[in-house]
Structure 1
Amino acid sequence: MAILPGLFLEGHCRELLERLENTGVPSAPVNHFEQVFADPHVRSRSLEFKIEHPFQKLLSLIRKALTFSGQAGQVPPP
């Protein structure tokens, strides 16, 4: 396990994911917020919404990907 930190620092995410896939290890990237909100699927499904927050004027969040008819879809503010 001591070898892993060095491997993670060595290459780019895409390269590491490709190496894992080639060896049959299931894997996926963990995105930071900018990547999440820029994702074409998130944008096309309008999954981002904003709420007022005491520490930040507007806070961007991701709504559930699955919704049912008649469902409000909003998360109550904190």
Structure 2
Amino acid sequence: MTQSYNALFDPDVDGTKKGGVANPTLQQVLDDPQFYGGEAANNVAALLSAAHPDVDFTGDRTEDTCPLDADESNN
């Protein structure tokens, strides 16, 4: 979980655009899917599910969308 996400997946994620970590670990991406993006979190989930028989990330996956529009999030 401490391995760099960018070392394993392409395209790289860059959290510095939002004030985060430039080269996040797998754990950081999985902990903050809204921050790093749903596709990145899904990549980590798929990797973990394939790597260990007791890990199974199934069901609905995170999307790169926010249910609130800009006006609602400012209230």
**Same fold flag (TM > 0.5):** no
TM-score (norm 1): 0.26
Higher strand share: 1
Higher Rg of the two aligned structures: 1
